[in-house]
């Protein structure tokens, strides 16, 4: 099984071709291609390449499916004995990103057909039926 560990939005993710992930907001249009060049590690069956800090010439290619807002996080501040209370909510902007290929020096070492999720006119098609890694499927 081929996978890569990439850095995006200040976080590290283990990604595989053909799967989609919810990451911090990427400033591109929906349906547009996107490339991540901050690849920390690539595992290709029994061969592992570790970067220092990044693997030279390695990229992860994919497409942006949609932009959305994450689940609401409630922030509640209270000072005891002062009758001071503040309740605030925050929803983080996120992007659903599907991985199509893992490349080293322009050569794909792992690829998946994601054409059923991306229309030719650049719009995102219906999303995959599986839940994204690290998210709640009941959204």
Give 77-109 pLDDT, tens digit per residue. 999 999 999 999 999 999 999 999 999 999 999
Average model confidence (pLDDT) for the chain? 88
Q: Is 114 left (phi over 0), alpha (psi -120 to 50) or beta?
A: alpha
Separation CA 62–CA 97 (nearest Å): 7
pLDDT band at 139 (very low <50, low <70, confident <90, very high): very low
Query: pLDDT tens digits, residue range 2-22?
Result: 999 999 999 999 999 999 999
Question: What residue has token string 């992007």?
Answer: 95
- What is the reported pLDDT for 115? 83
Query: pLDDT tens digits, residue range 118-127?
Result: 764 545 555 5
Query: pLDDT tens digits, residue range 44-63?
Result: 988 999 999 999 999 999 99
CA distances for 1 relative to 79, 88, 94, 99, angstroms: 52, 43, 27, 15
Helix, strand, coil percentages, rounded to 5, for the chain: 0, 55, 45
Q: What ranges do the domains of the chain cover?
A: 2-111
């Amino acid at each position: 099984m081929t996978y890569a560990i990439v850095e995006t939005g200040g976080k590290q993710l283990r990604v595989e071709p053909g799967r989609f992930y919810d990451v911090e907001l990427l400033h591109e249009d929906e349906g547009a291609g996107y490339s991540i060049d901050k690849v920390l590690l690539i595992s290709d069956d029994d061969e592992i390449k570790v970067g220092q800090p990044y693997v030279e010439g390695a990229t992860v290619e994919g497409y942006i499916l949609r932009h959305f807002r994450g689940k609401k996080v409630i922030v509640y501040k209270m000072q005891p004995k002062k009758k001071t209370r503040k309740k605030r909510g925050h929803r983080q902007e996120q992007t659903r990103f599907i991985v199509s290929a893992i490349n080293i020096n322009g050569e794909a070492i792992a690829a998946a057909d994601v054409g059923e999720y991306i229309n030719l006119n650049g719009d995102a098609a219906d999303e995959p039926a599986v839940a994204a890694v690290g998210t709640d499927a009941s959204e």
